Structure 1
């Protein structure tokens, strides 16, 4: 299998749209419509999100670069990664293109290039505001192993429930720093089809999500402790019709944020080690490589691949010393270090996956 991103960044509004917009819109003193609340574009709600369509969009996001482009990709690989047929992939790509989600180029039978439309705004929820970039309702980072688990869920409603839980974990745990994420029965029942809204049916679907630790909030004291620790939940439970709360935590081995922070630390240490080793015969600070660039490369390719590329570069420096700057093979590193590292990382990962 060819290279895929290790941390897949998906706009919360897309995850909500794919899970299904809630029918539970009425609140005590107002109505709340998710399409407006999450700023969901019409292109995400103009067709039905089937299991294969959800799988295909998640797969495309795992292969797309930071501009939302996938160049010269075999359709068989995309279909295999999504656990669907090639025919299903082509039918869905046609649907996505007709509704404005992407632009498709067929280079040769079985070879495609794809560009996700308005990638930053639609798929990452990032907007350029003058000199800064802002997010309206945020995005969720999904670890590639967890994405693989999502793609193997056979029950479409379990998949939809999984997408919602990831959004809630991002909001409650990663943004608001609570110990658990909370979903109410009304919230779950609101976006699932009516035929699977029974509590036992929901519990069975929850059991399919092996990457989650799930427990019911039981007893008045437990309920009060949970509500007092979560101010947004206090507002949400004022409107619920059925007092059932579900506590959720993500297994740390599948938590993209936890894994990403560890890998970023490793990548930064590896960069400083290289800087220390070759600083005696080259002004390393002149390269002006930002910490954010190091983090981005670590997120995309993984810290292990990043360390290997830096180890190769360190050996080249130690062998050639000052003369390395005249090497045509390494000239790009001195002129455009980020581009050089990106190219080397992509080549490294592709080589490892082929082997």
Structure 2
């Protein structure tokens, strides 16, 4: 049994704050002190535990393994422990920590198999709440599930590409892992929401979350070099900071604060791992692929929201492979035997497509 990670993993900004550590030196857009725990509505209990390297990775893994309702299904603990680089005992102990925080529900099955559910998934992990008003939805909220009930986000969320998740799993130093989580939050804030071409993480951003023994320029630069598979990075110092920032951005209070930093890391998520950028392209191509699938199988067009949800969860190439497998079986026409053969394929995207065929059938093939 293989672990099936999502194509794009949504994660609330507040979780990137928790996993990176509260920044005691944080400031808002006006340059005033910002209390991150209160600003992001982070429960105090979440900050009472020690977020170890494996606990951070395991939390990220659960988010990436869940569906849009927070259901992970059956998880083999040996596979999970191998993926995040620890023992099964550590995974079990981490589960107890997350259960004590009332974040997950674990049911032991047999051997190393368990079923896991993320409790209050949308509220706890995506910071999304049902919206009965005319409030404008947060950017991207419409693709997280096929439900018609609109949701709004209190403090925002980002999405992380599957390949970027695997990069996080490869990080062996907890401080480097925390820096990566903080960088993903800053990238969401400054690039995806702020509209800048690149993001900038200052010495103050990192000094406020890192232990004193680690918060030195040489250590930080070395740590970011480890993260180069995920980020494109350019360190800036002295006059380079002012020249670069004042050329590309407006002189806001937050920018003035950045100019005070002794050094800055200018960075961006690599193009092949930039979730927001990639899923825009995937949606366009995926729509064409799925419309063609509907035509060939003689079913009614799948609604756009369901097309987006399918591509968002599994990825364009995975959906293409599932369609090829199904059409190969049905290539010579529909029979009960072929229908049962498709139903028996143990490949989640195929089962999702099969459900669509049954739901939107307009011809005999379904």
TM-score (normalizing by structure 2):
0.80
CA distance in 2, matches of 1:246, 1:234: 19
CA distance in 1, matches of 2:81, 2:254: 40
CA distance in 2, matches of 1:88, 1:148: 19
CA distance in 2, matches of 1:65, 1:283: 25
Question: Does the residue aligned with 2:213 lie in a helix, a strand or coil?
Answer: helix
CA distance in 2, matches of 1:85, 1:9: 27
Partner of 2:169: 151
- How is 1:223-234 mapped onto 2 (pairs within 5 angstroms)? 223-227=242-246, 229-231=248-250, 234=252
CA distance in 2, matches of 1:29, 1:299: 37
CA distance in 2, matches of 1:295, 1:178: 26
Deviations 1:194-247 (A, max 9, x none): 21111111111111111212113346476255246435x732243465343221
Unaligned stretches of 5+ residues in structure 2: 133-148, 344-348, 357-366
- How is 1:1-355 mapped onto 2 (pairs within 5 angstroms)? 1-25=2-26, 30-130=32-132, 131-210=149-228, 211-218=230-237, 220=239, 223-227=242-246, 229-231=248-250, 234-239=252-257, 241-277=260-296, 282=298, 284-285=300-301, 289-312=302-325, 314=327, 319-320=332-333, 329=340, 341-342=352-353
Aligned residues: 331
Unaligned stretches of 5+ residues in structure 1: 333-337, 346-355
Deviation, 1:258, is 2.7
Over 3 Å counting, the alpha-carbon distance change for 1:156 and 1:17 in structure 2 is same
CA distance in 2, matches of 1:58, 1:193: 22
Q: Point out the structure with the larger helix share.
A: 1
Aligned-residue RMSD, C-alpha: 3.0
CA distance in 2, matches of 1:95, 1:301: 29
